[in-house]
Chains A and B, each alone.
Chain A
């Protein structure tokens, strides 16, 4: 009963903040609303007894990506009131795409064979995740590292100034 209330509170926070991200006119407000969404998602993970995932969600998304986003926004000139020059063009196609994707997602949600687990004592997940990363999923893990490294190198190449003498 109480847990259900807590769950709906956190779910409401997540969805409400997500709406705030999408509908806010001010980019800075959107960015701060994004923080609510990310924290809410971490709360969902905690409800699913995925403690490691919840903490990493906060660490990576709130602590890293959100702060960098804020950085970019705040260092950009007059980002608070952006002039969108063609407001009318994109609306209809956007609604179409959202509709198609939405129908697809809802179908997937209702058709998926959800695996129901009886609630019980949460078990530590860290060991299992570590074992999987260095065991059966070593190759995908290393591939993800290479993708990230490439992105880093690419960012440096794009942003550095050519030094000529």
Chain B
């Protein structure tokens, strides 16, 4: 985007403007576009999630507002904006008010480095992956602030649980990320995608057994960091009312949910970038516009597949207990991640340029697991004999 800004400023329509002011305006413009894009993504994800759960729980889900309920999220957003903004009398008003924006800021900042296509990225930072890990920390501070400022013991417990969980799971997630960085030698999101290819056996996920394990480590840890079921202890309704968000209403509550659903997309985008080949497509066209569009669609489809899997998991698995959560992180995921990283290093020394037979074997193994899983799902769907009509658009 730097090049695009330069081309606009030198000889483009904004020629003659002070260059610094020009950059600031360009950055503001991209921020505006991205913000709107995020609202759309988070809104549509919320609708999709409710429909998917509906299917999983043998009910219909929202299907009244618009065709198939597709603009339900718009109605929900409007309703929340019009609601009264209640601040509890005993709450710490300034902190209570800032907290949702802080969380929103931390989540919004990640979108600056997400590569939607070749060149279709706001800032291809040299430290992109590290940057995402870092700014996500602001979400933690926001949730902690919300929990404390609410002056409510459930909220405080929820906030602290959330922070503990995110800090713990950052270690296996980070080790999963490092495994990928080891094979690319770069932290930039675009170079990581460029190091892969459009064919599945050129994706990092199937590059070798260690990256295959790293994908699952990262995915599980990312689910926990995003407070998704089965790790959604910070807002366990049966224990903590609604966790850190208990006292929030209206728009501020909506912002927290926006962060949650938006984060789901960030998880999908990260998985797609690091393990599933990102926007890489076969060379089908020369037209730059069409190429960009196809890359965008590819990237979006890959990330939404991961998002769908996360929804599926949320609809299927029960919530874990606090001690189980910590046991899983510290006694299983972290040691496995360290051993896995060591293995990946050895693999890198033995095969510095990859090993094609292993890649193809990994694709076959992965595909086999997926097909077996699919056949189980189909078997259960056939045997379920549900009362309801099983068409997805009923």
Contacts and interface: CB of A to CB of B under 8 A. Distances in A.
A51 B126 contact: yes
B322 to A, nearest CB: 15
A126 B148 CA distance: 37
A3 B22 CA distance: 12
B144 A59 contact: no
Given A52-B130, A58-B137, A63-B134, A3 B20 contact: yes
Interface string A114-152: 000000000011100000000000000000000000000
A52 B135 contact: no
Contact of A71 (B23, B138, B163): B163
B44 interface: no
Interface string A56-76: 101100111011101100110
Given A51-B126, A58-B135, A75-B160, A70 B20 contact: no
A62 B144 CA distance: 12
Contacts of B125: 51
A59 B21 CA distance: 30
A54 B14 CA distance: 31
Nearest to B136: A63
Given A59-B133, A75-B160, A67 B126 contact: no
Interface string B127-158: 10011011111101100110110000000100
B134 A74 contact: no
Nearest to B24: A2
Contacts of A44: none
Interface residues of B, number: 32
A32 B140 contact: no
B167 A62 contact: no
B170 interface: yes
A58 B110 CA distance: 13
Contacts of A51: 125-127
Contacts of A155: none
Contact of B20 (A1, A29, A52, A58): A1
Contacts of B135: 58
B17 to A, nearest CB: 11
A91 to B, nearest CB: 28
Nearest to A80: B92
B18 interface: yes
A126 B147 CA distance: 36
Given A3-B20, A35-B141, A74-B144, A59 B167 contact: no
A13 interface: no
Interface in A63-108: 63-64, 66-68, 70-71, 74-75
A52 B130 CA distance: 8
B187 interface: yes
A71 B137 contact: no
B73 to A, nearest CB: 30
A70 B130 contact: no
Contacts of B145: 32
B19 to A, nearest CB: 9
B95 interface: yes
A87 B321 CA distance: 45
A70 B156 CA distance: 12
B283 to A, nearest CB: 29
B127 A52 contact: yes
A28 interface: yes
A71 B144 CA distance: 9
A55 interface: yes
Nearest to B102: A35
A32 B126 contact: no
A23 to B, nearest CB: 16
A63 B132 CA distance: 12
Given A74-B148, A74-B160, A126-B187, A62 B127 contact: no
Nearest to A39: B138
B125 to A, nearest CB: 7
A87 B47 CA distance: 57
A9 B126 CA distance: 25
Nearest to A123: B126
A28 B24 contact: no
Contact of B18 (A1, A35, A64): A1
Nearest to A59: B134
Interface in B67-107: 92, 95
Contacts of B127: 51-52, 55, 126
B87 to A, nearest CB: 17
Contact of A63 (B126, B137, B156): B137
In order of increasing CB-CB distance, the 9 nearest A-B pairs are A63-B137, A2-B20, A59-B134, A58-B134, A124-B126, A55-B130, A55-B134, A62-B137, A55-B127
30 contacts: A2-B21, A2-B24, A3-B20, A28-B92, A28-B95, A35-B141, A51-B127, A52-B126, A52-B127, A52-B130, A55-B127, A58-B134, A58-B135, A59-B130, A62-B137, A62-B138, A62-B141, A63-B134, A63-B137, A63-B170, A66-B141, A67-B163, A68-B167, A70-B141, A70-B163, A71-B164, A74-B147, A74-B148, A74-B159, A126-B126
